[in-house]
Amino acid sequence: MRFRWLSVGLAIASLGALPAAAQTCKPAIADSDLVTPGKLQMSINPTLPPQQFVDEKGELQGLNVELMREIAKRLCIPLELIRMDFPPMVPALTAGRFDGINTGMFWTEERSKIAYTVPYAQQTISLTVSKGAPAKVADIASLAGKKAGVEVNSYQERWLRGEDKEATAKGAKPIEILTFKTATDVLAALRAGQVETAVLIDQTAKEIERRGLIEITATGLGGAPTTMMFRNKTVATKVAETLTAMGADGTYDKLFDKFGLTKAPGKTFAIRGPGPQ
């Protein structure tokens, strides 16, 4: 299947909320805990297959899409998925533009102090090159002096800069790190020869390699939990409880097996970290 990727800015385009008339259950979250009464609004950056992407019909697909739809259904709240680029997501969340972030972001202690984080999966990083490229990058050491493309303001960028700092402190040539708004842009730069390697999350790298566009030369780097983020503690708690129920009845495993993503080590989910300070 050929997918068309879509990335839009903060001028929000969204997947319409489910009609309220279809509800036959009582919402599990009060309107007072939501940004917009009567619906749960989550931002998503649909440029990372198979986590989230836009198909050839322009419709949202992927694990995070189906996972959040199931959670909202169980909470008896219409869901609105707001498509936007990743960099403005956290500022928009803290400014109260929507209820949460559902884009497969890495958990960090810093993020756990900005909003209420609910880790729900595991993720690592891959180094990739264009299909058939003569130069291979097997590890961080082989990136010395090379141009590497990475999504801006991402865990991948932070990890890469940290690794580069350690390597240069030991005498290695610095990596020339070029940042881009989306993973789609990173891949376009790789294929255009602007960078020699694209630093991607593993599952996206595997999907693009499956399509024959790139080669993975190193994988399993910089592992960390994948998390959702929420502005309201009650909303985060209800989502965590719903994930736990999905883990108990097998729905969680079924979705992760369908998309081939790495599951969380346990089946009990909860807020991790202190939340906003």
On the question of pLDDT at 10 being above 70, the answer is no
Residue 24: band (very low, low, confident or very high) from pLDDT cuts 50, 70, 90 = confident
Residue 141 is given by DSSP the state: G
Taking the C-alpha atoms of residue 98 and residue 18, their distance in angstroms, rounded to an integer, is 16
Going 117 to 258 to 206 to 49, the CA torsion angle's sign is negative
Tokens of 144: 């010395």
Residue type (1 letter), 108: T
Of the candidates 42, 48, 1, 47, the residue with the CA atom closest to the CA atom of residue 18: 42
On the question of pLDDT at 8 being above 50, the answer is no
- CATH class for the domain made up of 124-223: alpha beta
Residue 3: band (very low, low, confident or very high) from pLDDT cuts 50, 70, 90 = very low
What confidence tens digit (pLDDT) does each residue in 62-99 have? 999 999 999 999 999 999 999 999 999 999 999 999 99
On the question of pLDDT at 29 being above 50, the answer is yes
pLDDT of the residue at 67: 98
What confidence tens digit (pLDDT) does each residue in 183-215 have? 999 999 999 999 999 999 999 999 999 999 999
pLDDT of the residue at 58: 95
CA dihedral 44, 2, 264, 108 (to 10 degrees): -40
User: What b/e readout covers 120-140, taking b as 16+ CB neighbours within 10 angstroms?
Assistant: bbbbbbbbbbbeebeeebeeb
Residue 277: band (very low, low, confident or very high) from pLDDT cuts 50, 70, 90 = confident
What confidence tens digit (pLDDT) does each residue in 235-252 have? 999 999 999 999 999 999
- Domain 13-121+227-259 adopts which CATH fold? D-Maltodextrin-Binding Protein; domain 2 (3.40.190)
On the question of pLDDT at 268 being above 70, the answer is yes
Query: Taking the domains of the chain in order of start, what are their residue ranges?
Result: 13-121+227-259, 124-223
**CATH fold match for the domains 13-121+227-259 and 124-223:** yes
pLDDT of the residue at 23: 53
8 A C-beta contact, residue 75 and residue 39: no
Q: Mean pLDDT, to the nearest integer, of 220-237?
A: 96
What confidence tens digit (pLDDT) does each residue in 146-162 have? 999 999 999 999 999 99
pLDDT of the residue at 194: 97
Of the candidates 75, 71, 72, 66, the residue with the CA atom closest to the CA atom of residue 25: 75
What confidence tens digit (pLDDT) does each residue in 100-147 have? 999 999 999 999 999 999 999 999 999 999 998 987 799 999 999 999
